[in-house]
């Protein structure tokens, strides 16, 4: 970590962090556009095929055991993105999806306490209570006729992202960008296999043969702009500044996601959504507070949902 990590983030680096949050927020709208052309599991599989190739030919594999690529790639690619894409496909709004997925930070803390014996801080516990109150509020509002199954799948996707973060915590790759490129080799085979079983090869081939310009643009965006450019730039910031300092800017993803979904997809922003958003983002922010004197090493987190 260089000298920049000692002080506050430079203005241009703050602008970069905000730009990445905007890229990841808009990504949910882009996913919604792509799902209009491609079956969800097939779309998720193609995302990782595109992210891995041709980048894997030019990026050296991090010198860590293969099992860590599997232990991160399966929950991240197959679990998180498979469940998220299905949830959005069957009715979960893009804006709310960007909000609910932020609970991955709380799932990460829960799994770390159980699997890594890391003691949860009081602020983390308080943050969980506040954020999950926001989730419950969304669940109650969705119970008035909207798809609860889609909402449940998005919650499960956030949980799978939390598991992937635990895998990353144990793997500790020396280069987060290179690790993401090589992790992208893991999800395509299981995702495309599941797609052939549940969506059918005929549906996949028909979608591929008749993919729209919007579908192609969505695939390009989620694979290269959101995954490789976004994650690579985020990793660059994490090498210059403390993880907590950079990580707070991920709280801007839901506002960008909700506002872009309202502007581009016409999704309404209700008072219930606004209150739930404040509870979830506030809870995650509260759970991120740590005292400098007693702070343990920061828990690495993947930006894989974006």
**Cα(140)–Cα(279) distance, rounded to whole angstroms?**
15
Task: pLDDT band for 133, please (50, 70, 90 cuts).
Answer: confident
CA dist 138 and 276 (Å) reads: 6
Max CA pair span of the chain: 59
Q: Note whether 254 and 280 are within 8 A (CB).
A: yes
pLDDT value at position 168? 83
Place of tokens 């919007």: 214
Length of the chain measured in residues? 306
pLDDT digits (tens, 9 = 90+) for 168-221: 888 888 887 899 899 999 999 999 999 999 999 999 999 999 999 999 999 999
Nearby residues of 90 by Cβ (< 8 Å), 6 or more positions away: 147, 149, 150, 153
């Amino acid at each position: 970590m260089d000298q920049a990590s000692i002080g506050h983030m430079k203005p241009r680096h703050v602008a970069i962090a905000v730009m990445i949050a905007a890229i990841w927020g808009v990504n949910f709208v882009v996913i919604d556009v792509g799902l209009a052309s491609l079956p969800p599991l097939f779309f998720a599989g193609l995302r990782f095929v595109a992210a891995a190739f041709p980048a894997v030919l030019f990026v050296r594999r991090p010198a860590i055991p293969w099992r860590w690529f599997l232990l991160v790639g399966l929950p991240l690619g197959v679990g998180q993105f498979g469940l998220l894409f299905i949830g959005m496909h069957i009715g979960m709004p893009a804006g709310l999806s960007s909000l609910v997925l932020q609970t991955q930070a709380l799932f990460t803390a829960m799994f770390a306490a159980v699997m890594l014996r890391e003691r949860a801080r009081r602020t983390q516990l308080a943050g969980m209570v506040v954020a999950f109150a926001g989730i419950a509020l969304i669940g109650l509002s969705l119970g008035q006729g909207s798809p609860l199954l889609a909402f449940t799948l998005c919650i499960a996707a956030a949980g799978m992202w939390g598991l992937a973060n635990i895998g990353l915590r144990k793997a500790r790759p020396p280069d987060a960008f290179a690790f993401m490129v090589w992790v992208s080799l893991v999800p395509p085979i299981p995702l495309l296999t599941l797609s052939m079983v549940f969506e059918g090869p005929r549906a996949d081939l028909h979608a591929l043969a008749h993919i729209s310009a919007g579908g192609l643009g969505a695939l390009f965006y989620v694979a290269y702009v959101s995954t490789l450019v976004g994650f690579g730039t985020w990793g660059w910031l994490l090498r210059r500044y403390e993880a907590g300092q950079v990580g707070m800017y991920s709280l801007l993803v839901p506002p960008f996601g909700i506002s872009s979904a309202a502007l581009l997809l016409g999704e309404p922003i209700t008072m219930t959504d606004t209150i739930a958003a404040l509870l979830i983002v506030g809870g995650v922010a509260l759970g991120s507070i740590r005292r400098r004197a007693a702070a343990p090493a920061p828990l690495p987190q993947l930006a894989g949902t974006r």
